Structure 1
Amino acid sequence: MHSGNKKWIYLIVLSLIWGSSFILIKKSLIGLTPYQLGALRVIISGLFIFAVGFNTLKEVAKPQWKWLIISGFLGTFFPAFLFAIAETEIDSGVVSVLNSLVPLNTILLGFAVFKIASTKRQIVGVIIGFVGTSILIGKGAELNPNQNYLYAGFVLLATIMYAFNVNIIKRYLQDVKAITIAAGNFAAIMIPAFVVLLFVDFFSTETFNREGFLMSIGYVVILSAFGTALAKVLFNKLVQMATPVFASSVTYLMPVIALIWGLLDGEGFSLSQLLATGLILIGIYLANRRK
């Protein structure tokens, strides 16, 4: 299959998987604290990754381990906790919309820190997408006036980390297999995640007897297998076959999926948000036209 078509397939599949992740986080928080959820997500995802990719770690050169470790913390470890914390106060659909800031941060950091050039059309496309995102955020605030939007800061911090991670993979890990990058990431962050789990009273009678605990564990397993483990490999591959901006554009399509899930779960959605979604899609198209 032509690489140009393949990258769009990867983008759509990732959008479906990650767009569904926000509602899974919301459901997981019924019986777990955000710190328990974040740590479990890392540990369970790591087990899935190691099952298929552990043997590939022997292919990693020593100089590459530094970037694999940094990528693991910025691209997986910290965001797993930040998104869970944010969703204790903000609807899952709104969190997914805030996550759309990743492409903007990717362009800014790629240019300022990693010296990766972007065309004027890409910048215009990202700005249009950002305008659409802003409208979605504003309308979400109107529909949910009782939510604490200060928690949006946790999502914004995660988007900056994601942007760094995308550029690190493109600049320093371009020749490493996608599954190897994922395995290396989790080799670095699984032990810290287990330490966190010990300090947040997960292994206690109170946690195990909490209402909705078993159901939440089920959601975390699904979230880890698809939303983290599988998606991590697919995303690493997408970054390598396309530009960092194209890869990060998955965050423009995710809100569409996440808002649909939110609507089905009783969260608000308006006509203005639908129009803003159209702007986001236009932004994707412009941001990924190089000629």
Structure 2
Amino acid sequence: MQLGALRTLFAALFLFLIGFKSLKTIQASDWKWIAVSAFAGSFIPAFLFAFAETEIDSGIASILNSTTPLVTLILGVLIFSVRFNKNQFIGVIVGLVGCLALILEGASINPDQNYWYALLVLCASCCYAVNVNIIKRYMQHISPMAIANGNFIILVIPALIVLGFSDFFKTEIITDPKIHTSLMYVSVLAVVGTGIAKVLFNKLVQMSTPVFASSVTYTIPIVALLWGVMDNERFSFYQVLASGVIVFGVYLANRNK
């Protein structure tokens, strides 16, 4: 709970410092979509991932997050009337096959993990899929910086409430060196993985299609698995092959872009 709340607050502080003035460009009628985007694209997933990774490796979590393009495509067609072409469909399926291969191989070499927690990551992927479709459908006219700042000005109060109920302010923040180290890493996660990434992703969605933008999540497992190796997570040669399938799926989905 503390990780999700602190990540939100640190990201908010960073975004306010670099782009608070952009809030003036948001019209009153846009705030309802900004709010939905805030909770679906940032707030809820931050907590889902924090809980999930108490039981599963970061590599497995990132692999499961790669279901986002498929969910984006399904929701886009069923709810948001988004059109897709044959290459996008084939690319999504190929990428999904690569993800399934990674999941199966990860389960075989890490049998001690609680894979029920994987459902939390899948829920986060659904949230991301809703967010990307909303940005494309309803927020094309808003700058990426304004969307990001609007998201987090809405989330500051909820994050503070969660942090207050988590007993964070009762901990020995000043004297405990472990907390100092943790806060440093949370700040890196918030600034790079949330603040900067949020602005860039919003721009990508506006420049392209929802499936194209969300397909970047297919490359996340590769990066996460490499970091996992550095953190002594178990990794196999078959996961390398499956990662190659994922990259090929991204190429198929976006080769006309």
TM-score, L = length of structure 1: 0.86
Aligned partners of 1:290, 1:112: CA distance in 2, in Å?
A: 24
Alignment partner of 1:236 is 2:211: no
Identity %: 55
Shift of 1:274: 0.7
2:12–2:156 Cα contact (<8 Å) kept: yes
The two structures, once aligned, show a CA RMSD in angstroms of 1.3
TM-aligned CA distance change 1:117 to 1:170, over 3 Å: same
Match of 2:22 among 49, 56, 61: 56
Aligned to 2:192: 226
Match of 2:55, SS state, is: coil
Shift of 1:116: 0.5
Structure 2 spans left out of the alignment, 5+ residues: none
Alignment partner of 1:159 is 2:125: yes
TM-score, L = length of structure 2: 0.97
Match of 2:227 among 258, 261, 271: 261
Aligned to 1:138: 104
Aligned to 2:213: 247
Alignment partner of 1:173 is 2:133: no
Shift of 1:207: 6.4
| Corresponding letter in the other structure for 1:156 | L
Aligned partners of 2:109, 2:173: CA distance in 1, in Å?
A: 33
2:44–2:124 Cα contact (<8 Å) kept: yes
Alignment partner of 1:285 is 2:244: no
Aligned partners of 2:28, 2:60: CA distance in 1, in Å?
A: 41
1:252–1:284 Cα contact (<8 Å) kept: yes
Tell me which moved more, 135-144 or 204-213.
204-213
Match of 2:116 among 137, 147, 150: 150
Shift of 1:59: 1.1
2:173–2:180 Cα contact (<8 Å) kept: no
Alignment partner of 1:200 is 2:166: yes
Aligned to 2:79: 113
Shift of 1:268: 1.0
Aligned partners of 1:209, 1:283: CA distance in 2, in Å?
A: 49
> Cα deviations across residues 227-263 of structure 1 (Å, max 9, x unaligned)?
1001100000111111111111111111111000001
Aligned partners of 1:211, 1:189: CA distance in 2, in Å?
A: 28
Shift of 1:206: 5.4
Aligned partners of 1:221, 1:108: CA distance in 2, in Å?
A: 34
Aligned pairs for 1:45-84 (under 5 A) are 45-84=11-50
| Corresponding letter in the other structure for 1:136 | L
Alignment partner of 1:189 is 2:155: yes
Aligned partners of 2:67, 2:60: CA distance in 1, in Å?
A: 12
Shift of 1:208: 6.1
> Cα deviations across residues 198-217 of structure 1 (Å, max 9, x unaligned)?
00000013566667211110
2:52–2:118 Cα contact (<8 Å) kept: yes
| Corresponding letter in the other structure for 2:163 | L
Match of 2:66, SS state, is: helix
> Cα deviations across residues 85-126 of structure 1 (Å, max 9, x unaligned)?
000000011101110000000100010000000112211110
Shift of 1:54: 1.3
Aligned partners of 2:100, 2:219: CA distance in 1, in Å?
A: 15
Match of 1:203, SS state, is: helix
Match of 1:45, SS state, is: helix
Aligned partners of 1:53, 1:210: CA distance in 2, in Å?
A: 33
**Number of positions where the alignment pairs a residue of Structure 1 with one of Structure 2:** 257
| Corresponding letter in the other structure for 2:66 | S
Structure 1 spans left out of the alignment, 5+ residues: 1-34
